[in-house]
Chains A and B, each alone.
Chain A
Amino acid sequence: MSAVPAQSFAAPHAGDILLSVRGLKMHFPVYEGALFRKVIGYVKAVDGVDFDIRRGETLGLVGESGCGKTTTGRCILQLERPSAGQILFNGRNLADLDRNQLRGIRRHIQVIFQDPYSSLNPRMKIGDIIGEPMKVHGTEPDAAKRDRRVRELLHTVGLNPRFADRYPHEMSGGQRQRVGIARALSLQPEFIVCDEAISALDVSIQAQIINLLEDLRDQFNLTYLFIAHDLSVVRHLCHRVAVMYLGRVVELAECDELFDNPMHPYTRALLNAVPIPDPEVEASRPHQVIQGEVPSPINPPSGCVFHPRCTLAVEGCKKAVPGLRELRRGHWVACTEV
C-alpha cells in the first residue's frame, strides 16, 4: 500500500521521508438560511498544499493569520477530513487506512497547542493529564508503571516530579506548556505538530521552551511541523520553512536559503515587516510596508492569489495560477515573475 509521489518537495540531503502532503485541500462549506440550510460557498482554508518532511527535520510553516496553517496541521492530525489530496505517513496514505490502523498511527503523530490554559483539563491532576494518553492507547496499562513514566516525563521537560499532584491552575503558563509537551511525548511519537506552541508565553519564558523543544528533538530524533508567526523564532529553530498565503504554499526552502535569499514577493514583504530589536538597524534599513490585507478565502482573487498586493504583478498574474517551481536546488517558488 506504499505510495511514492512522483514529484519531490523534500530537502536535498539524504534521509527517509516521514511525511508527504500532496494536493491537500480543505474547503469548509458556508451556509445560509436557518431552516433550509443551503451551501452558498466554501472557505478555501487549504487549497492545494504540497511538502515533504524528512525524519528528524523541523519544517516551519509561516504566513499571516487565516492562511491555513492550523487547518493543514489538523488535517495531518486527522482532526479534519480533507476535501482532497493525500497525507502519506511513513509511505502510507492515511485516507486508505481503517479505524484500527489509523489508531495505531495516531500514536505517532502528536500535537502541542498554543494555549496552555485551555488545552489542559482544569479538573485533572497533572499526573493524570500526562498519563491519560498511555491509558487510552493501552501502551502502559499498569498504574504503578504509568506513574513512574509520568514522573520520568516531568523530569524530561524540566519540571519537578512533585508537580504530578498539582492542578493546572496552580502552575504558570510556561510550566503548563511543559505539561503539554510531556503529554505529547508520553506515547513516544515520531512526529509532533507544534501549533504556535510558544506564542502565548511571556517573552522571558519563550527561549526556555524553544531550548526544550530543541533538546527533545535531538534526544528522541523527533520530527516537527512548527507552525508559528514569529519569523525570528522560526529561523532559529527550523531546518526548512514553507511560507503559506491564502491556503497555498508560495515558497519552500531550507531555512538559511529562505531567509538569506527570499524569492517570492510575499516572502520578501513578510520578512521586511519584522522589526529588529536594535534602534540603529531599524533606523538604517529600508521599510517597504506591504499594502492592503489578505483577501477573503471565500472569494480568493483569480490567478495568482497574491496579485492584488504584489508589486511585481503583471497582467498574466490575474489568469494563470503559478505552481511551485524548483528555481534553485531545494528552493521552490510559486511565482512566474522571479
Chain B
Amino acid sequence: MATLLEVDNLQTQFLTSAGIVKAVDGISYDVEEGETVAIVGESGCGKSVGALSIMRLIPWPPGRIIGGAVRFQGKDLVKLSDAEMRHVRGKEIGMVFQEPMTSLNPVLTIGLQITETVRHHLGVTQEEADKRAIELLGLVGISEPERRLKQYPHHLSGGMRQRVMIALALSCEPKLIIADEPTTALDVTIQAQILELMKGLTRRLGVALIVITHNLGVVARYADRVNVMYAGKIVERGRAHDIYHRPSHPYTLALLKSVPRMDQPRKAKLDPVEGQPPDLTRLDEGCSFRPRCRFKVEHCEREFPPLNSVAPGHVAACFETARVVRLEKVAS
C-alpha cells in the first residue's frame, strides 16, 4: 500500500494570556491508502488541533502552525495557497466533527448543503447534483432521502445529522476522511450504527480514515493502527493489537487498566491514573507524563524521551519501556 498522508514533525501553538500553548508539539505519523488510523488521548491533548492543522483550519489569532510538513499524496499542505487548500478541503479530504450542528449550516436545507458541495467541487449540473445527494443519503442509511433533502438540520436527530455529515464528507469521493470524535455526542446504540456505517463505507469505497477519539473501545473495533497522544506529543504507536496487548508506554498501560471492562470479571477496585492532566503552558524539557508516572527515573526530568522501536511497527516514547513491558508480562 502506498502512503497517502505523512504528518512530519507538525507543530501548532496558541498565544494565550496564560502563555504559549504547545497544543501540537512535533507529531509525526502516516496513513496508508484505505487504512484506518486512530488518534487517542484525553481531552486537551491536541487531537483536534492536530486534525485542524492538517486541514489548515487553525484560526489566527491565536493559533498558528509554526513548523513541520503535512504531505498529502506528495504535496505539502502547509505550503499551499488558501485557494489551493479550499480545493483539498471537501474534495480530497472530507471531515466529520463531533457536533454536526456546528458544522452544518442551520438555515440551509440538507439538500442544498450537499448539492452545493458537489457542484462546487465536481462542476456538475443541479440535476446531477440532486441525484448524487439522493444516492449519498441512501448510502448512509437515511430513509426517504427525497423528503430529507428538503429538511433543515434541526429537524434531524443527532444520529441523523451525523449521517448527513458523513454523506457530505463522502460527497466528492475523497481519498481520506478525518473524523473527530464522530460518536462522542451520541448514545451507545447510535454510536454502534454510525461506526458500523463508517467502517463499511470506508472499506467498500477504499477511503482512508483518521478517527480521533478518547474511547478505547471505539478504537479497538475500527483501527488498523493507533497513535496515543499525551500533552501534544505522540507517545506510542503500533498496530491496534500491539497497543492493547503489549502497551509499552506507562500512560497507555495506565489508561487501559483504568477502565472497567464488560467482558471481564468485576474488579473490587479500579486502578486509576493518579494526578491531573498536564497544563500545556507549563511543560519543561523532561517527560510530560512524569508527575503521574509509576516508572519514572531521575533521567526523565532532564530530557523528553524520543520514540523508540519496541517491536517491528511499534514505537514508544519512554526511557523505561523495557520495565513496562516486563511488568506487563508478569501481570498477564
List the interface of chain A (C-beta within 8 A of B): 64-65, 172, 174-175, 202-208, 210-211, 214, 229, 231-233, 235-236, 255-256, 259, 269-283, 287, 289-291, 293
Contact of B260 among A65, A205, A233, A272 (CB under 8 A): A233
A235 to B262, alpha carbons, bound, how many Å? 7
Q: Which B-chain residue is minimally distant from A288 (CB atoms)?
A: B192
- 11 sampled A-B residue pairs with Cβ under 8 A: A203-B215, A203-B258, A204-B42, A204-B292, A210-B270, A270-B188, A274-B262, A275-B218, A279-B220, A279-B240, A287-B192
User: A207 touching B196 by the CB < 8 A rule?
Assistant: no
**CB under 8 Å from chain A, chain B span 232-280:** 240-241, 244-245, 254-256, 258-263, 266-267, 269-274, 276-277
CB distance from B235 to the nearest CB of A (A): 13
Tell whether A259 pairs with B270 under 8 Å between CB atoms, given A204-B277, A229-B187, A273-B189: no
Instruction: List A contacts of B221 (CB < 8 A).
Output: 275, 279, 282-283
CB distance from B237 to the nearest CB of A (A): 15
User: A279 touching B270 by the CB < 8 A rule?
Assistant: no
Contact of A277 among B191, B192, B220 (CB under 8 A): B220
**CB under 8 Å from chain A, chain B span 208-238:** 214-221, 223
CB distance from B26 to the nearest CB of A (A): 22
A231 to B190, alpha carbons, bound, how many Å? 15
Instruction: List B contacts of A172 (CB < 8 A).
Output: 276-277
Instruction: List A contacts of B43 (CB < 8 A).
Output: 202
Instruction: List B contacts of A214 (CB < 8 A).
Output: 269
User: A202 touching B42 by the CB < 8 A rule?
Assistant: yes
Q: Which A-chain residue is minimally distant from B160 (CB atoms)?
A: A293
Tell whether A207 pairs with B270 under 8 Å between CB atoms, given A277-B216, A278-B263, A293-B159: yes
Instruction: List A contacts of B160 (CB < 8 A).
Output: 293
**Interface assignment of B157: CB less than 8 Å from any CB of chain A:** yes
Most chain B CB inside 10 Å of its own CB: which residue of A204, A259, A271: A204
**Interface assignment of B105: CB less than 8 Å from any CB of chain A:** no
Q: Which A-chain residue is minimally distant from B43 (CB atoms)?
A: A202
A293 to B163, alpha carbons, bound, how many Å? 13
List the interface of chain B (C-beta within 8 A of A): 42-44, 157, 159-160, 187-193, 195-196, 214-221, 223, 240-241, 244-245, 254-256, 258-263, 266-267, 269-274, 276-277, 292
Instruction: List B contacts of A256 (CB < 8 A).
Output: 266
Tell whether A236 pairs with B260 under 8 Å between CB atoms, given A64-B187, A280-B241, A293-B159: yes
User: A231 touching B240 by the CB < 8 A rule?
Assistant: no
User: A279 touching B241 by the CB < 8 A rule?
Assistant: yes
A104 to B219, alpha carbons, bound, how many Å? 49
User: B274 touching A211 by the CB < 8 A rule?
Assistant: no
User: A259 touching B220 by the CB < 8 A rule?
Assistant: no
User: B263 touching A290 by the CB < 8 A rule?
Assistant: no
Given contacts A203-B255, A279-B244, 10 further A-B contacts (CB under 8 A): A207-B270, A235-B260, A235-B262, A272-B192, A273-B191, A274-B217, A278-B263, A279-B220, A280-B245, A293-B159
Q: Which B-chain residue is minimally distant from A215 (CB atoms)?
A: B269
Q: Which B-chain residue is minimally distant from A207 (CB atoms)?
A: B272
If over half of A's interface residues share one DSSP class (helix, strand or loop), that class is named, otherwise mixed; here it is helix
A86 to B268, alpha carbons, bound, how many Å? 35
User: A276 touching B261 by the CB < 8 A rule?
Assistant: yes
Instruction: List A contacts of B218 (CB < 8 A).
Output: 275
Instruction: List B contacts of A233 (CB < 8 A).
Output: 260
User: A293 touching B277 by the CB < 8 A rule?
Assistant: no
A295 to B189, alpha carbons, bound, how many Å? 14
CB distance from A12 to the nearest CB of B (A): 19
User: A277 touching B261 by the CB < 8 A rule?
Assistant: yes
Instruction: List A contacts of B195 (CB < 8 A).
Output: 275
Instruction: List B contacts of A278 (CB < 8 A).
Output: 220, 244, 261, 263
Instruction: List B contacts of A279 (CB < 8 A).
Output: 220-221, 223, 240-241, 244
User: B272 touching A211 by the CB < 8 A rule?
Assistant: yes
User: B258 touching A207 by the CB < 8 A rule?
Assistant: yes
Instruction: List B contacts of A289 (CB < 8 A).
Output: 189, 192-193, 196
Most chain A CB inside 10 Å of its own CB: which residue of B43, B187, B189, B271: B189
User: B258 touching A276 by the CB < 8 A rule?
Assistant: no
Tell whether A204 pairs with B260 under 8 Å between CB atoms, given A172-B276, A236-B267, A281-B220: no
User: B260 touching A290 by the CB < 8 A rule?
Assistant: no
Contact of B214 among A64, A65, A203, A236 (CB under 8 A): A203
Instruction: List A contacts of B263 (CB < 8 A).
Output: 276, 278, 281
Instruction: List B contacts of A280 (CB < 8 A).
Output: 241, 244-245
Instruction: List A contacts of B271 (CB < 8 A).
Output: 207
Tell whether A204 pairs with B261 under 8 Å between CB atoms, given A64-B187, A275-B220: no
CB distance from A273 to the nearest CB of B (A): 4
Q: Which A-chain residue is minimally distant from B192 (CB atoms)?
A: A273
User: B266 touching A277 by the CB < 8 A rule?
Assistant: no
Instruction: List B contacts of A229 (CB < 8 A).
Output: 187-188
CB distance from B103 to the nearest CB of A (A): 20
User: B266 touching A235 by the CB < 8 A rule?
Assistant: yes
User: A206 touching B258 by the CB < 8 A rule?
Assistant: yes
Instruction: List B contacts of A259 (CB < 8 A).
Output: 262
CB distance from A174 to the nearest CB of B (A): 7
User: B256 touching A277 by the CB < 8 A rule?
Assistant: yes
User: B258 touching A204 by the CB < 8 A rule?
Assistant: yes
Contact of A232 among B190, B259, B272, B277 (CB under 8 A): B259
